[in-house]
Structure 1
Amino acid sequence: MRHVTMEKLFVHPIVQKYVGRSGMAHAIAVAEKAVDIAIKKNVNPDLAAKAGLLHDIGHYKWYQNGEWNFELYKENDIHAIKGAERAHKLLVRCEENLQDAKEVALAILLHTDSYLPEGELQLRPLQQIVAEADTADEEVGGAHHYRQIDYDIALKRIRDLDAKIESLMLANENDEQKN
């Protein structure tokens, strides 16, 4: 059973504030892509969706005069560190399973290597999925952070994603019971 739905996260004031600032349209697209990739890789689609939605929740510092400053972001990026902490705190407060909250936070922490020293990390499947989904939705110059989405359309897409996740998890439970 899911402890926290995508809709519960989406309507939360913290998500509206911080994810809204960094691009809600991008966040929803990444969540949707993450679920599709998770299905192919046999990874928990619920955790993939949550990490996808929240992956940029740490971007709040890169605004100047109400405008997204892509150059400032590229030069000083640590959004994944702040985002992992903020997402973990939010999920725990929403009563998410503690291990799941940790997995989502780690996927957010490692969805980008822009703040890490040169070298390669061995990412786990959920972490790879979020990074792949984010990259698939990126646009030149950070334009993906500027895309707008109407609240009602966003909420419908979130509800559709919740329904898809519920259906996938129910099918998985039925498969497990048969075996």
Structure 2
Amino acid sequence: MQRVTLVDVFKHRITQKYLQRSGIHHAVTVAGHAFDLALKEKVDPDLATKAALLHDMGHYEWYRDGKWDYEEYRKHDIHAIKGAERAHKLLIRLGEDRLVAKEVSLAVLLHTDSYLPFELEGKRTKLQEVVRKADEIDEQPLGMHHYKKMDKSVAIQLLNELDQKVEVILDDQV
């Protein structure tokens, strides 16, 4: 079975649709942070980078009176739940291994506890914690990290470089 790459994931129409909402720059940047953290924490960088790339694909827009309302959005936020479902479906469609798809979607689901009535501190796996930390590194007040711009060609170039780094690690493990 050939590995599903970050570029494969990124180029899919579903990914394109949902990363437009949450921000391509943020998704690609978080994937880079996840790779570095995965190496440090001895976590599979393939799983970490895929989960990080897809972690916010459940975002939606919340407008009130024609203006973005961050506080209302946060109050009703379930993006991690929607994102986990979308990530799983997408990875299965791309031919990803079912266990990989499950682990990635769980990391997407648990990258934040903002939608839960309790905290997940100390309850995440190492992979889930890597994705949480990678996201946190790029966060800005009022969700401004979602509005940074990145051209798709630049994103593909950066993801291709990440894919190559992941491939080297995976080849060394064989």
Task: Give the TM-score taking structure 2 as reference length.
Answer: 0.93
- Deviation of residue 62 (structure 1)? 3.4
Deviations 1:10-34 (A, max 9, x none): 1111111101211110000111100
- 1:9 matched to 2:34: no
- Deviation of residue 83 (structure 1)? 0.3
Cα root mean square deviation, aligned: 1.8
Number of residue pairs the alignment of both structures matches: 173
- Deviation of residue 69 (structure 1)? 4.0
1:158/1:110 CA distance change after superposition, 3 Å: same
Structure 1 unaligned regions, length at least 5: 174-179
CA distance in structure 2 between the partners assigned to 1:93 and 1:67 by the alignment: 35
DSSP 3-state at the match of 2:60: helix
CA distance in structure 1 between the partners assigned to 2:66 and 2:163 by the alignment: 32
CA distance in structure 2 between the partners assigned to 1:21 and 1:63 by the alignment: 13
CA distance in structure 2 between the partners assigned to 1:66 and 1:44 by the alignment: 43
CA distance in structure 2 between the partners assigned to 1:126 and 1:37 by the alignment: 9
> Contact 2:55/2:83 (CA < 8 Å) preserved in 1?
yes
CA distance in structure 1 between the partners assigned to 2:65 and 2:15 by the alignment: 21
Partner of residue 160, structure 2: 159
1:21/1:120 CA distance change after superposition, 3 Å: closer
CA distance in structure 2 between the partners assigned to 1:68 and 1:126 by the alignment: 32
> Contact 2:21/2:61 (CA < 8 Å) preserved in 1?
no
Partner of residue 59, structure 1: 59
Partner of residue 76, structure 1: 76
CA distance in structure 2 between the partners assigned to 1:27 and 1:39 by the alignment: 19
1:2/1:20 CA distance change after superposition, 3 Å: farther
Partner of residue 31, structure 2: 31
Structure 2 unaligned regions, length at least 5: none
Identity of aligned residues (%): 51
- Deviation of residue 64 (structure 1)? 6.6
1:62/1:161 CA distance change after superposition, 3 Å: farther
DSSP 3-state at the match of 1:33: helix
Partner of residue 172, structure 1: 173
Counting only pairs closer than 5 Å after superposition, residues 137-152 of structure 1 correspond to structure 2 as: 137-152=138-153
CA distance in structure 1 between the partners assigned to 2:134 and 2:65 by the alignment: 29
